[in-house]
Structure 1
Amino acid sequence: MSIRELLNPSNSALILIDHQPQMSFGVQSIDRQTLKNNTVGLAKAAKIFNVPTIFTSVETESFSGYIWPELLGVFPGHQPIERTSMNSWEDKKLVEAVKATGRKKLIMAALWTEVCLNFPALEALAEGYEVYIVTDASGGTTQEAHDMSV
């Protein structure tokens, strides 16, 4: 695979990070219903094109709540990777799941852009992955935080 190879279903994986009620409550950079619709639409496209998709969530039972049921409904049986750290790349289970896909082009979306998207994106880049962020399936705590993060 060349870095000049276009992003396509056979060379990419989708990572959806922290699309949970309490995390979306803090989003101010995009209308929350639009955010949910965009994220579910992204997941549906990944399913149609057989793109490996990974869900990860943070502090489900103590703070953030479960991943949106509409999103999990796209991939029944997918078990989200539960973690306690804000930086999902610090979780060995997530990194192992990414490596298991065999894909080097990662499509990522997360709540919140300034933390939960930036941290793993930067670490994945440092490890030789190409990262494509989906800005309209991500949200920041403010418009400025989202924009500056992007």
Structure 2
Amino acid sequence: MKSTGELDPRDTAIVLIDHQIGTMGWVRSIEQKEMEKNAAALAKVAVALDMPLVLTSSMEEYAQGPLMPQLKEIAPDNYESRIKRGGIVNCWNDKNFSDAVRATGKKTLIMAGVTTDVCLAPPAISVKDEGFNIITIADASGSPSKMADDMAIRRMEKSGVTVTTTNAIIAELAKDWTSDDGSKLIQIVMSDLLPE
């Protein structure tokens, strides 16, 4: 599916993949606090605009650990209903996860994941191949090295996946800061994203 360029929040879901305490500790391509802040902002956007939010984690009982606690605070129901995967690397191959994403009924997915190279790129490409419009958020994701991140981004873009940043996608969803949606989103930008 080709993007028309106009992002419709009513036909969009947000998907956060493996933002787990242990996994995020392996990231070196971006400052961990920056990545956490941006992932949390995306969850807040989903809640503010009443957009579907799908969370998934992998092997929480091992080194990967639980999802970052901010997600439980922001979206407790989504946190409780998160898709816990065993060892399936490409989460799209986990039937519970893919069924949960399809059940949103949305054609556009805003996705972020940790790590970008292992946990985000493969499902983003798989879902794109299935006909969804996929937008990945580079600064809410990260890899163990800059090279791993760069290669993953190149691979996604070559597959037709759009790559952008948290602030840019929020502005795109807002369309007009004076609208109802825009006024909710500008608060997230001002409190969570812009420097003090």
Q: Which residue of 2 aligns with 1:129?
A: 132
The answer for unaligned runs of 5 or more in structure 1 is: none
Report the count of equivalent residues: 150
CA contact (8 A) 2:14 2:42 kept: no
Q: Structure 1-normalised TM-score? A: 0.95
Kindly indicate which of the two structures has a greater share of residues assigned to helix. Answer: 2
Deviations 1:17-65 (CA, angstroms, capped at 9, x unpaired)? 0000110011001101111111111111111011100000000012311
Alpha carbons 1:14, 1:53 under 8 Å: kept: yes
1:143 paired residue number: 146
CA-to-aligned-CA distance 1:53-96 (integer Å, 9 cap, x gap) = 00000000123111011122111122210112111001001111
Equivalent position amino acid for 1:32 in 2 = Q
Give, in whole Å, the separation in 2 of the partners of 1:12 and 1:51.
7
Q: Would you identify which runs of 4 or more consecutive aligned residues in structure 1 move more than 6 Å?
A: none
Counting only pairs closer than 5 Å after superposition, residues 1-150 of structure 1 correspond to structure 2 as 3-4=3-4, 6-78=6-78, 79-83=81-85, 84-150=87-153
Residue 81 of structure 1 aligns with an amino acid whose one-letter code is I
- Counterpart secondary structure, 1:85: coil
Tell me which amino acid in the other structure corresponds to 1:80. R
- State the shift of 1:2 in Å: 7.8
Give the AA of the match of 1:108. Answer: M
The 3-state SS of whatever aligns with 2:102 is helix
Aligned residues with identical type, % of pairs: 37
TM-score (structure 2 length as normaliser): 0.73
Higher RCO (CA-CA < 8 Å; seq separation 6+)? 1
| SS of the residue 2:76 aligns to | coil
Q: 5+ unaligned residues in a row in structure 2: which ranges?
A: 154-196
How far off its partner does 1:125 sit?
0.9
Alpha-carbon distance in 1 for matches of 2:30, 2:4: 32
Q: Rg: which structure is higher?
A: 2
Equivalent-residue separation in structure 2 for 1:25 and 1:62 (angstroms): 14
SS in 2 for 1:144: helix
Task: Encode CA deviations 1:96-123: one digit per residue, 9 max, x unaligned.
Answer: 1111111111110000111100110110
